[in-house]
Amino acid sequence: MEKILDRFLRYVAIDTQSDENSESQPSAAKELDLLKLLCKELNDMGVEATLDEYGYVMGSIPSNIDKKVPAIGFIAHVDTSPDASGKDVKPQIIKDYDGGDIELKGVPGLFLKPSEFHELLAHKGETIITTDGTTLLGADDKAGVAEIMDAVQYIVEHPEFKHGDIKIGFTPDEEIGRGVVKFDVKRFGADYAYTMDGGEIGELEFENFNAASAKIHIQGRNVHPGYAKDKMKNAILIGMEFNDLLPIGQRPELTEGYDGFFHIISFKGSVEEADFGYIIRDHDRKKFEEKKELIAQCVNFINVKYGEGTATLEVKDQYYNMREQVEPYYFIVEKAVKAMEMAGIKPKIQPIRGGTDGANLSFKGLPCPNVFAGGMNFHGKMEFAPLENIEKASEVVLNIIKLFAE
């Protein structure tokens, strides 16, 4: 049986960064490189699996017990964030981590420090997988992919393991909010499902942000700076002024728990024109709508001050808080709690400060909480994953299957 570490390293070596500026699905053709591989690996293990035109891999393992039990799905996304490169990932394997600073050897002088990332200290003595400082790692969510595939391999190689119908799903484009837009829940065939897309060991989530993206265009007016008085409208400065209208205390670096935020993620421009983008997040639907209204009011303020048409706004909702869809089926959360306890893990039920495919799937009629995948510091060069977290997550998958088969 292939070791889960080797499987994970094979997957992160494949560049699958999604493209938020693409209208196709998958948004980037390179995502199909891993999706095709996963479909083939499932088929090679004797699991019936298909890859459709939208980039969804769906696999099915039939029940080997006599009684009728719910069909359970496990889902992970293959794409990595557009926020950092996922090309030529060079993982570092730190065995028996001693609690000190970890040098990221691809960038001179760059270290992953427990003084800055305190969660490292909880993993002294374990095997830590890091980046080399030049890319992200891709544990979000290739750790989840590896965990599901590892569990599938165990089931295939251990026919004595009792289970109901098991459904496997791998998706593209989760990182850009389009992961399951065209996912056919009925064809997938699960009664309930879990995304393996959380962070630290023990995390279990059935609440997530309501999410939207906002794109703002500023139309300035450039004239010779020597003769600019009362004529020039500097799009860069107007954009900076716009950003200052938003509440400082509602930025990601100043929020936690159930706090929402406005997050500026891009700014590109000149005196003549500028474009910048935000993501808007809040767990509370009313506050979420208020945030969208506030950003519209800021656009209106700019247009009143500098002239109609100076600022234009495009807002798109991406996903909503799945709590209202999952709570009526809370027993699926309780199953995951028990599955973690069986693995010697203390469950931590908390809100997701992000989103998962499970949110949109829950609104499509497939209740889908989120289980830890084991990585931390996603979307950047400081991303890392303890191997023991990944191994335990795969064990939790098997325990959930076992519990539903009882």
Closest C-alpha among 338, 356, 74, 76 to residue 192 = 74
Residues 6+ apart with CB under 8 A from 164: 63, 65, 68, 69, 70, 71, 72, 401, 404, 405
Given the residues 19, 20, 41, 79, select the one marked as catalytic: 79
Q: Can you tell me the distance from the alpha carbon of 204 to that of 199, in angstroms, rounded to the nearest whole number?
A: 9
Q: Can you tell me the distance from the alpha carbon of 139 to that of 53, in angstroms, rounded to the nearest whole number?
A: 25
Tokens 């048409």 belong to 309
Whether 244 is catalytic: no
Q: Which two tokens stand for residue 323?
A: 């709590």
Closest C-alpha among 65, 88, 110, 92 to residue 17 = 88
Q: Which two tokens stand for residue 385?
A: 């994953």
Pick left, alpha or beta for residue 313 (phi over 0 → left; psi -120 to 50 → alpha; otherwise beta). Answer: beta
Whether 184 is catalytic: no
Given the residues 31, 173, 174, 391, select the one marked as catalytic: 174
Pick left, alpha or beta for residue 174 (phi over 0 → left; psi -120 to 50 → alpha; otherwise beta). Answer: alpha
Q: Can you tell me the distance from the alpha carbon of 374 to that of 364, in angstroms, rounded to the nearest whole number?
A: 27
Phi, psi of 283 (to 5 degrees): -70, -35
CA 248 to chain centre: 25
CA 180 to chain centre: 12
| Pairing of β 128-130 and β 48-51 | unpaired
Q: Can you tell me the distance from the alpha carbon of 279 to that of 313, in angstroms, rounded to the nearest whole number?
A: 13
Enumerate the active-site residues: 79, 174
